[in-house]
Structure 1
Amino acid sequence: MFKIGDTIIYSSHGLCQIDSISEKTFSGITKTYYVLHPLDNEKLEISTPIDNKTISTLMVKEEAEEILNLFTEPGIEWIEKGNQRTQNYSLIIRKGNRKEMAKVMNTLLVKKYELENQDKKFPEQDRKLLLSMQTILLSELALSLNTTTEEISDKIQHLLGLTEEVIFTNE
């Protein structure tokens, strides 16, 4: 069990801090809940049962290096149908598996690069997915590797062999 003040990873919200632990009753069932907020949004309050499977500890340096190394390999398969792609990729984000998220991010970054080099527009739903994953993954990797998100961003682009800026910055 985590303690008040701990920084944890919470599914698609990324880095969160536990503000309190309390009993709450919903539909006649009383459970213990963490009350937390994302580090990048102190105004958002989230309550989640302490047995929630999408809560995890911060990744260790070795795991962060392993995730970065995934950017030297092909990502996941690109799904041509936009709605199906959004649905499948969103599910991966919600599950919170950082290795799978890195593979999706890899695929989206490469596709964004390819489209922009053909003077084509990167689809808006893909832009939102990519931005969401970047917000989560870059900050976790930076924290675990004791560096900045900018350095992680540069490293990922280098590993992918991309010569132009494709990672969104401060949007």
Structure 2
Amino acid sequence: MEVDDMFQIGDNIVYPMHGAGIIEAIEEKEFSDEKQQYYVIKMSVSHMKVMIPTRKMSGSSIRPVTDILALKNIIHIFQNGTSDKLLPWKERYKINTNKIKTGDIQEGVEVVRDLMRMKKEKKLNASEKKMLDDAYGYLLSELEVIEGITEKQINSFC
């Protein structure tokens, strides 16, 4: 079976809008008389299995899990970055949705940071509360699989 060697079975990945997952298998399936190879990914947040054609992975926003070296910068952004509180909620929601869709951990951390700060000052509307819950879950799912991370580092995002 010939496979794009971007990822291997057992690799932890991050799938935007779904969080972290693990590649459980690489399977060949036939669809519309065409055989294709698929990564079978078990998502940790939803526990669902996702199948993505191997040939489409390089064009997707799916990425490897962040490494421990990048974590210091991410914690710094979470604790020290500035938040724009003056945007109307609909505009803020759109910007935050786009940040989460990138799959970039830094963008996701900014969304969690900003919404957590807002939540301390006032009650979030239902859409932003769900967004915070989802983004926080995606972030935690990635943090939990970073090799070498300590519980103290994970707790710095609480």
TM-score by length of 1: 0.73
Distance 2:139 2:155 in 1: 14
Distance 1:88 1:25 in 2: 38
Q: CA deviation at 1:134?
A: 0.9
Range 87-96 or range 67-76, more displaced: 67-76
Distance 1:28 1:92 in 2: 37
Q: Give the partner amino acid of 1:112.
A: K
Give percent identity, aligned residues only. 26
Distance 2:132 2:149 in 1: 23
Count of aligned positions: 149
Within 5 Å, give how 1:67-78 maps onto structure 2. Answer: 67-78=74-85
Q: Kindly indicate whether the alpha-carbon contact (under 8 Å) linking 1:36 and 1:46 is maintained by their aligned counterparts in 2.
A: yes
Distance 1:19 1:70 in 2: 32
Of structures 1 and 2, the one scoring higher in RCO (CA 8 A, sep 6+) is: 2
Q: Kindly indicate whether the alpha-carbon contact (under 8 Å) linking 1:22 and 1:33 is maintained by their aligned counterparts in 2.
A: yes
Range 134-143 or range 25-34, more displaced: 25-34
Within 5 Å, give how 1:21-36 maps onto structure 2. Answer: 21-24=26-29, 31-36=36-41
Q: Which runs of 4+ in 1 moved over 6 A?
A: none
Give the unaligned 5+ runs of structure 2: 1-5
Within 5 Å, give how 1:54-65 maps onto structure 2. Answer: 54-65=61-72
Alpha carbons of structure 1 residues 124 and 79: separation in structure 2 relative to 1, 3 Å? farther
Q: Kindly indicate whether the alpha-carbon contact (under 8 Å) linking 2:25 and 2:39 is maintained by their aligned counterparts in 1.
A: yes
Give the unaligned 5+ runs of structure 1: 116-120, 157-166
> Pairwise CA RMSD of aligned residues?
2.5
